[in-house]
Amino acid sequence: MNPTISEDFLMAFAEGLSGRTLTTCSRWSAKRRVMGEPFPGPYGWKYHPWVREILDSPAPFNYAMKAAQLGVTEVAINRALYVIDRLHRDVLYVLPTATNASDFSKARFNTALALSPYLRSLFHSTDTVNLKQAGANNLYIRGSRGDSNLKSIPVSDLVLDEVDEMSQSQIWLALERLSGQIEKHVWGISTPTIPNFGIHKLYRTSTQEHFFFSCPCCGRTTELIWPDCVEIIGETVADPRCHESFLRCKECKGRLEHRTKPEWLSKAAWRSTIPNGNPDIRGFQISQLYSSTVSPGEMVVAYHRGRGDEAAAAEFSTSKLGVPFLGAGAQVNDDMLDRSIRDHLTSDPLPQNGKRLIVLGVDQGKTNYWTACEWLIDGPIGRDVNAAAICKVIGFGKFGEEEWSTLDELMRAYQARACVVDADPNINEARRVARRFSGYVWLTRFRRGYAAKEMSIEDADSGAPIAQCDRTSWVGGTLSRFKTDPTRIWLPRDISLEYREHLKSQVRTYQKDETGNSRSVYVPTSPDHFCLSLVYAEIALPLAASMAANQDIGKFL
């Protein structure tokens, strides 16, 4: 017998026998994945012991709310590859944007293949960025922005990577891709941002599991939580004593050595923190207190950095502790709304002489939401007219996507000096209204790159001018009326519960810009259409002033 053929045969036979034992994702990962730095070699969980149980979870739905750099993204990658190789099912892997998807495909996926000979032999087609083929099975890699990216991809296994950075409406579209499948598995992972949003919203529906271990000092079962489990030494970011900080058991106060962490975490396990959690929806929460690569001193420095700096405090909470963050005054609450309610009603008589300064704001969609505001200004109208004016909400309501003539009726009934309409999605209807009320109606789009309340007007000969401005500045300015001085906005006594809930939807949080710096943004945690209609009414005020005075808009911003 040819010795080469015999050797190849024996190797193939051994490989086949080995493959039969890879019945769990953790076993498969240890055998098939080869990792690079900082822990090069065969995939393992010595320094990330919490990942093994997540890898092998049989639950249909699995959500991991985690701090940064804890190996959980590799869990998602391993699950996707394991499902394709061993279970022979297609996988849809969703990231926040198409750029993220492309970067993941080229860096994380291609690197996994480059380091792992078995994976290189498994995939026969990897040239297409958004589609990788292994035999009859496919790995679809998509961004969450845009319906077309997620439609017509019927899969049984779905990975949502960095849920909080995704288009939230598209998460449900992605989940719908599984509706026709008998076997379905969802893996959602993310660093959280704010409460009741993204991964935290999903985590709250789950078993809400924490990682418990036996204390090497007292033997009691416990977990690592901030600040109970940290002896904080040092008082400022620059204090060198910070690096003398250490972990301690919250039960016995015994010192837990950071360098031996893999040893005393080796038999740790996930436990649900709520009674009677649904085992079909497992949730996992893990912080950098468990990390072998992040020292207690580094945690303490990050904590001090967040004292007095809200953006840094948010980063510490979300990226270090893996829990959502809500800053002071980040959200309108019921107390703020109650303080803003006055005695007038939306049924009060409408203007008859045209001398009142009234504007309309419209947030459009399948249902169009509108708000009518009367602006009360004591003295001449000048620069920063919004800061000088009191906003009195005198009407609000809704009309359908086929009922745009209602807006014509509202313009006449309120004798509106200006109306700002969201330009999308039905731009043609919005343009028609703008042309019918030329000089009184503007469309609007939010754009990055505008400073404070800066605004530019574009017409493009359409007869429907578009006001472009910064979203964060105008949303923040509108909601600050409720937060800083309730006398600056008057709500009617008959304001609806729906309107109130929409005003509470927007929450200020922080995101990294292209240069890696944190910037504040507002994100909706629930429907926010009435809130946006009020924002558009705020934008309408300087436009009305500009037209009335026949001066450049900049004179009133």
> CATH number for the domain including 81?
3.40.50.300
CATH of the domain at 504: 3.30.420.240
Residues 290 and 386 reside in one and the same domain: no
Answer yes or no: is 507 within a domain.
yes
Residues 276 and 201 reside in one and the same domain: no
* 384-413 as b/e: b if 16+ CB within 10 A: ebbebbbbbbbbbbebeeeebeebeebbee
Model confidence, pTM: 0.86
Residues 64 and 153 reside in one and the same domain: yes
Answer yes or no: is 20 within a domain.
no
Contacts of 376 (CB under 8 A, 6+ apart): 357, 389, 390, 392
Q: Mean per-residue pLDDT for 19-28?
A: 85
Residues 249 and 194 reside in one and the same domain: no
Residues 427 and 403 reside in one and the same domain: yes
Burial class (CB in 10 A: 0-12, 13-18, 19+), 343: exposed
Q: Mean per-residue pLDDT for 539-551?
A: 87
Quote the CA–CA distance of 14 and 120 in Å, as a whole number: 19
Residues 349 and 432 reside in one and the same domain: yes
Answer yes or no: is 18 within a domain.
no
Residues 310 and 342 reside in one and the same domain: no
Residues 243 and 108 reside in one and the same domain: no
What percent of the chain stands above pLDDT 90? 65
Give SS3 for 489: strand
Q: Mean per-residue pLDDT for 69-86?
A: 94
The per-type count for the chain, helices as H runs and strands as E runs, is 19, 25
Q: Which of 296, 326, 356 is the last residue of a domain?
A: 326
Strand order in the sheet with 246-248: 230-231, 246-248, 255-256
Quote the CA–CA distance of 183 and 398 in Å, as a whole number: 41
For residue 481 the two structure tokens come to 């009326």
Q: How confident is the model at residue 258 (pLDDT cuts 50, 70, 90)?
A: very high
Dihedral, CA atoms, 116, 121, 126, 127, nearest 10 degrees?
110
The gap from C-alpha 17 to its chain's centroid, in whole angstroms, comes to: 44
The whole domain housing 72 covers 55-205
Q: Which of 186, 205, 224 is the last residue of a domain?
A: 205
Residues 313 and 379 reside in one and the same domain: no
Among 12-21, 190-199, 370-379, which stretch is predicted with the lowest mean pLDDT? 12-21
Q: Mean per-residue pLDDT for 39-64?
A: 95
- pLDDT at position 14 over 50: no
For 495-508, the DSSP string reads: --HHHHHHHHHEEE
Answer yes or no: is 41 within a domain.
no
Answer yes or no: is 535 within a domain.
yes
Residues 282 and 430 reside in one and the same domain: no
Residues 412 and 449 reside in one and the same domain: yes
- pLDDT at position 36 over 60: yes
Which pLDDT score, from 0 to 100, does residue 496 have? 97
CB 35 within 8 A of CB 115: yes
- Which stretches of 159-268 are DSSP H helices? 168-176, 198-203, 261-264
Count of structural domains, the chain: 3
Pairing mode, strands 157-161 and 209-214: unpaired
Answer yes or no: is 382 within a domain.
yes
CB 14 within 8 A of CB 31: no
For residue 545 the two structure tokens come to 């002033």
Helix axes 405-414, 427-436, angle to 10 degrees: 40
Q: Mean per-residue pLDDT for 309-323?
A: 95
Phi, psi of 105 (to 5 degrees): -60, -45
Give SS3 for 232: coil
In this predicted model, which residue has the larger pLDDT, 360 or 155? 360
Among 101-110, 361-370, 525-534, which stretch is predicted with the lowest mean pLDDT? 101-110
Answer yes or no: is 353 within a domain.
yes
Residues 172 and 62 reside in one and the same domain: yes
Contacts of 109 (CB under 8 A, 6+ apart): 77, 126, 132, 139, 141
Quote the CA–CA distance of 235 and 277 in Å, as a whole number: 41
Phi, psi of 82 (to 5 degrees): -65, -45
| Beta-strand runs (E) in 46-156 | 61-66, 91-95, 131-134, 137-143
- pLDDT at position 515 over 80: no
Give SS3 for 31: helix
Q: Which residue has the tokens 């039960």?
A: 251
Q: Which of 292, 326, 360 is the last residue of a domain?
A: 326
Quote the CA–CA distance of 368 and 537 in Å, as a whole number: 14
Q: Mean per-residue pLDDT for 483-501?
A: 94
pLDDT digits (tens, 9 = 90+) for 204-248: 999 999 999 999 999 999 999 999 999 999 999 999 999 999 999
Q: Mean per-residue pLDDT for 522-542?
A: 95
Answer yes or no: is 25 within a domain.
no
